[in-house]
Amino acid sequence: MADQSQKAETFELNNGTMNVLLTNLGCTIISLSVPGKDGVLCDVVLGLDSAESYQKGLAPYFGCIVGRVANRIKDGKFTLDGVQYSLPINKPPNSLHGGNVGFDKKVWEVVEHKKGETPSITFKYHSHDGEEGYPGDITVTANYTLTSSTTLRLDMEGVPKDKPTIINLAQHTYWNLAGHNSGNILDHSIQLWANHVTPVDENTVPTGEIMPVKGTPFDFTSEKRIGDTINQVGMGYDHNYVLDCGEEKAGLRHAAKVRDPSSSRVLNLWTSAPGVQFYTANYVNGVHGKGGAVYEKHAGLCLETQGFPNAINQPNFPSVVVRPGQKYQHSMLFEFSLE
């Protein structure tokens, strides 16, 4: 068990162009400021004022890393090597984002914090066998680095000790490229390099089907304003997209491009993961955020690259099982630009 006497503290990564504020509570991005067309820095992530506010559970997974397994596990049950495991049902009838006290609610150890041109910080957490119902000890690390003037890279790793387990980490930042307190993201446009989506049942769990997006409101294969079709998908988008058509560079594939017309800010996201949960903050409702901001429905959008939800119970989905001697790895690249 990690030593929870460690305090939740805040740390800064600053390269002179962009500035990121993080806390070791859940490896959470509290703020991320990048220039807009006027050169003015603007904070483009939803967040709270202090680490204490996050500890009180006031944020719906703002900015954090979720685990041991991101997204939903159907009925909180799975079988691994013939043994059935039961997880907390913290989002009835399913288990969500690692259970009642997932990785987002843990104080991680700060292994290293580097300043300079490519500043970085590395967080580490030991999750023990049986924690939140999951089998096996696993040591996880998360490294955030400003790799260029307007690029943030996240590398996540998980090393199991002596038992097989399941792991699927996701970065749950809510983005609003017009500024975190600018209103909703319906005028943002987005392109997703995904020809397929995994449709869900009434409890937001994938049915196992892999459905072409062509001719549906889920089609973002060419750039499209989010507000144009959001009313055709119930409360909003909250779906896992199959990243099957993005070009590759340096071992990562292009997942998404988000554009805000008002500031000219663009975010390009690259990942090593097979899927991305596109979520339009459908359940955010009067959350009191930093600087007096009040966040309402659709105040931000999440692009949570991930293994597919409920993959452990869907044999046709890519496996999320990691065995001793293997290593879980997941990298994300957030590239900001103006156009």
Annotated binding residues for beta-D-galactose, written as ranges, equal: 71-72, 172-174, 238
Q: Indicate the SS3 state at residue 74.
A: helix
Extract the annotated binding site: 71-72, 172-174, 238
> By the 8 A CB rule, do 75 and 94 touch?
yes
What's the residue count for the chain? 339
| CA count, 13 A, side-chain hemisphere, 120 | 15
Cis peptide before 68 (omega within 30 of 0): yes
Set 97, 172, 188, 196: catalytic member: 172
Name residue 34's beta-bridge partners: 42
> By the 8 A CB rule, do 62 and 173 touch?
yes
CB atoms closer than 10 angstroms to residue 38:
10
296 catalytic per annotation: no
172 catalytic per annotation: yes
Taking the CA atoms of 36, 120, 45 and 225 in sequence, report the sign of the dihedral they define. positive
In the numeric block, which tokens belong to residue 35? Answer: 């220039």
The alpha-carbon radius of gyration of the chain (Å, integer) is: 19
> By the 8 A CB rule, do 282 and 297 touch?
yes
Set 132, 239, 304, 330: catalytic member: 304
> By the 8 A CB rule, do 275 and 241 touch?
yes
Q: Which residues are known to be catalytic? A: 172, 304
